[in-house]
Chains A and B, each alone.
Chain A
Amino acid sequence: MTTTPALRVARQVSRGFAPVIAIFLAIVIPLFMGIGVVSFITDGEGSVWEIAAAGAFKWFPFALAVLLTPALLPMYVTHGVTRHQFVAGAMLTLVAFAVAVAAIVNLGYAAESAIYRAVDRPHDFRDPHLFASWTEVPLVITEYALLLAALLAGGWLIGTLYYRLHWLWATLLIPAAMAPAGGAELLLQTSWTGSWTESMGWTRPSLTVALSVSTLLIGATLALVYALTRSVPIKLKAT
Chain B
Amino acid sequence: MTLDVDVRDLTVRYGDVAALDRLSLSFGGGQIHGLLGRNGAGKSTLLAALAAYRRPTSGSVLVGGEDPFENPKLMPQICLIREALDVYDTETCRSVLSLGALRPTWDAEYADELVERFEIPVTRRSVTKLSRGKKAALACVIGLASRAPLTIFDEAYLGMDAPSRVAFYDELLADYMRHPRTIVISTHMIEEFSSLFERVAIIDRGRLVVQGDTDEIKARGASVIGPADVVDRVATGHAVVGERRLGPTKSVTVYGDLDADFEENVRAAGLELGPVSLQDLFIHLTSDRGVKP
Contacts and interface: CB of A to CB of B under 8 A. Distances in A.
Bound together: yes
Interface of A: 2, 5, 8-9, 12, 15-16, 67, 71-72, 74-85, 230-231, 233-234, 236-239
A75 B103 contact: no
25 contacts: A5-B72, A12-B99, A71-B88, A75-B87, A75-B88, A76-B99, A77-B52, A77-B75, A78-B81, A79-B103, A79-B146, A80-B79, A80-B103, A80-B146, A81-B75, A81-B102, A82-B52, A82-B72, A230-B70, A231-B55, A233-B48, A236-B44, A237-B85, A237-B86, A239-B83
Interface of B: 44, 48, 52-55, 69-72, 75-88, 91, 95-96, 98-103, 142, 146, 148
Contacts of B82: 236-237
B153 to A, nearest CB: 13
Contact of A79 (B83, B84, B100): B100
Contact of A8 (B72, B87, B95, B102): B102
Contacts of B44: 236
Contacts of A81: 75-76, 102
B86 A16 contact: no
B19 to A, nearest CB: 12
A231 to B, nearest CB: 6
Contacts of A15: 95, 98
B72 A84 contact: yes
Contacts of A8: 101-102
A81 B74 CA distance: 10
Contacts of B146: 79-80
A76 B102 contact: yes
B70 A84 contact: yes
Contact of A78 (B72, B77, B87): B87
Contacts, number: 86
B70 A75 contact: no
Contacts of A5: 72, 102
Of listed A83, A230, A237, residue having the most chain B CB within 10 A: A237
Nearest to A238: B84
A12 B98 contact: yes
Given A77-B53, A78-B142, 13 more contacts: A15-B98, A67-B88, A71-B88, A74-B87, A75-B86, A79-B102, A80-B148, A84-B70, A231-B55, A234-B86, A236-B48, A237-B82, A237-B84
A77 B91 CA distance: 16
A83 B70 contact: yes
A144 B76 CA distance: 37
B12 to A, nearest CB: 9
A82 B79 CA distance: 12
B50 to A, nearest CB: 12
Contacts of A78: 79-81, 86-87, 142
Of listed B71, B96, B99, residue having the most chain A CB within 10 A: B99
Nearest to B143: A78
A234 B78 CA distance: 15
Contacts of A84: 70, 72
A77 B84 CA distance: 14
A76 B75 CA distance: 11
Contacts of B101: 8, 12
A80 B100 CA distance: 9
Nearest to B103: A80
Contacts of A83: 70
A164 B55 CA distance: 14
Contacts of B80: 78
B211 to A, nearest CB: 24
B76 A80 contact: yes
B155 to A, nearest CB: 9
Nearest to B96: A75
Contacts of B76: 80-81
Contacts of B91: 16, 75
B135 to A, nearest CB: 9
A230 B53 CA distance: 11
A79 B51 CA distance: 11
A161 B79 CA distance: 26
B97 to A, nearest CB: 10
A193 B60 CA distance: 52
A77 B86 contact: yes
Contact of A72 (B53, B79, B88): B88
B54 A233 contact: yes
